Amino acid sequence: MTDERSSWLVSTEWLASHLNDPDLVVVDGSWHLPTSGRNGHAEYLAAHVPGAVFFDIDKISDTSSGLPHMLPKSGAFGAAVGALGIGDGMTIVVYDGSGLFSAPRVWWTLRAFGAKNVRILDGGFPMWQAEGRPVVAGSASPALRTFTAMLDSAVVANIEEVARKLEDGTAQVVDARPADRFRGEAPEPRPGVRPGHIPGSRNLPFPEVVANGKLATPETIRSAFNAAGVDPARPTITSCGSGVSAAILWLALESINQPPVAIYDGSWAEWGASDMPLAIGPA
């Protein structure tokens, strides 16, 4: 079931052989940037792994916050995923339509709310399709299940905590956005968000730890963090534009046995729209 790069990965072969397991649920967690021209739910309806349910990152969120896909309250989360047929104790396999982009965010979210056995499909839906494995169209009709959600608030950092930990040096912040956005040379995809980055943060664009839609090797991951000026052994908070690709860095750090302490859930969508100080240029 596991992969030498990470115990959190499962192969397409493993999933194909376990699709009919009664305690298995497959989750399509596809999400794309607003500027991408892609729609994760529409793509799911067109084709998905047989039996897969769709986890809508935008809808299964705190829609009252004003920020994109912030984590919801535990009760709301439990009700939403229970309606997807995800119950306590089940094995959950998450994939996305990009290979490895938004699935880690769903994986991290489920774990943050208490799911124990959550895995990511290595290579995602692109690999599944490339291998000629079966797909179906339309919506799923899962049976309602009970998911007892209890958020581990320790793995979620807010804006005050990020500022405080950077000031006192008790954590480093690593930003997964593209380098030109981090330096403030490219516009942000969301209106009202300033260009730049959190002062004192480091930049490691998430493609540096992804290879052909799959998680890179531990050696590549270590080299990427070192090149970014990040010591994986130090307490780390990952960030990005809105908390999605930050989870890719989380997965990468776990694969080298250096899990972060938290994800900054508001990420640059919050910081860049606030009156907090910002920096322009390289770290």
Give the residue numbers annotated as catalytic, written as ranges. 240
> Which residue type, as a one-letter code, is found at position 238?
T
| Spatial distance between the Cα atoms of 70 and 64, rounded to a whole number of angstroms | 9
Closest CA to 127 of 263, 220, 11: 11
Q: Phi and psi of 237, rounded to 5°?
A: -110, 125
Per-residue tokens: 98:
């990009």
- Sheet with 262-264, strands from edge to edge, namely 156-157, 262-264, 236-239, 172-175, 202-203
Count of CB atoms situated within 10 Å of the CB of 178: 17
List C-alpha distances in Å: 148 to 7, 52, 76, 262: 24, 21, 11, 22
What burial class does residue 142 get, using C-beta atoms within 10 Å of its C-beta: 0-12 exposed, 13-18 middle, 19+ buried? middle
Query: How far does CA 85 lie from the centroid of its chain?
Result: 21
| Spatial distance between the Cα atoms of 166 and 154, rounded to a whole number of angstroms | 17
